[in-house]
């Protein structure tokens, strides 16, 4: 299809997740044609149906964001069906249980490798590496592919996902922390690089937001808080977890050329005060 200046096309990776699905729905309401990217179609199709039932336009594409050819295939479909991407939300990422320790400091038992504890020295390094890959190259490659089309148009906005682990070392999540710390630096680097192409690049760093995975970590079956949850809330001045709609205001500010047209290379924390509190 032909493109015009009035067409707004958003590409959202990780669009089947709690946070990015909320963003996708909000963008559709604002008039964006939304391409929903993720590994599995089942969750994407649910979001697509919600957008379409509300009168919006969305398509779902199964995509491996760590594979350049897969992202290129998605881009070709999007440009044919919707138009040139003008907004990229790099929301794909996440963690894996086999990359997490179940202790917070070294224990000699982990050297015995008898399964009694899971520390750094008996993690699966292939899984550890895969977590770094999805959270780093899973942002770099879509930026590379869709950013090229934006550069040809001399306009565009990219929003990356950072984390509280971008700023603080958080126990148990070494691989995820490495990757998300890199996202702040990559956002700065890419923002400076793409400024001559009139492409703004920023990041959002959510605090502890509830999604399907975090609920299992933060709540017991009876609905009470786990010790991990109590520890998080003790370091969060607002004493609660974030909810997906609370990211929308930050997203809307960053994509708005009138309100944030001179804003690029920053990472905005939406964290209930987590980074402001040392817990003492």
Residue with tokens 């398509």: 59
Do the beta carbons of residue 235 and residue 274 sit within 8 Å? yes
> Would you name the residues annotated as active-site residues?
176
> What are the b/e assignments for 61-73, b being 16+ CB within 10 Å?
bebbbbeeebbbb
* Straight-line distance from the first to the last Cα atom of the chain, in angstroms, rounded to the nearest whole number: 58
Do the beta carbons of residue 171 and residue 94 sit within 8 Å? no
H-type alpha helices, 41-173: 41-53, 68-81, 109-112, 125-153
Closest CA to 90 of 40, 135, 148, 44: 135
How many residues are present in the chain? 280
**C-alpha–C-alpha distance, residues 73 and 225, integer Å:** 43
Dihedral of the CA atoms 206, 27, 146, 58 (nearest 10)? 120
């Amino acid at each position: 299809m032909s493109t015009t200046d009035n067409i707004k096309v958003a590409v959202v990776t990780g669009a089947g997740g709690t946070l990015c699905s909320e963003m996708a729905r909000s963008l559709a309401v604002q008039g964006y044609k939304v391409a929903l990217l993720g590994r599995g179609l089942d969750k994407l199709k649910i979001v697509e149906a919600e957008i379409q039932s509300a009168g919006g336009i969305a398509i779902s594409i199964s995509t491996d964001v760590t594979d350049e050819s897969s992202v290129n295939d998605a881009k070709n479909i999007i440009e044919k069906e919707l138009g040139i991407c003008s907004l990229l939300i790099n929301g794909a990422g996440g963690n894996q249980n086999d990359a997490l320790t179940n202790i917070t400091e070294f224990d000699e038992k982990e050297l015995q490798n008898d399964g009694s504890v899971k520390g750094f020295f008996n993690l699966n390094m292939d899984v550890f590496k895969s977590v770094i890959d999805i959270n780093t190259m899973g942002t770099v490659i879509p930026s590379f592919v869709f950013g090229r089309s934006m550069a040809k148009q001399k306009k565009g906005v990219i929003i990356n996902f950072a984390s509280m682990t971008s700023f603080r070392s958080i126990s148990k999540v070494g691989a995820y922390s490495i990757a998300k710390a890199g996202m702040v630096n990559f956002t700065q680097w890419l923002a400076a690089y793409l400024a001559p192409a009139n492409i703004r690049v920023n990041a959002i760093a959510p605090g502890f937001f509830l999604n399907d995975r975090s609920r299992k970590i933060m709540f017991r079956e009876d609905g009470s808080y786990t010790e991990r949850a109590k520890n998080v809330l003790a370091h969060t001045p607002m004493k609660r977890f974030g909810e997906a709609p609370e990211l929308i205001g930050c997203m809307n500010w960053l994509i708005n050329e009138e309100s944030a047209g001179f804003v690029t290379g920053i990472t905005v924390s939406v964290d209930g005060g987590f980074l402001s509190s040392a817990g003492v």
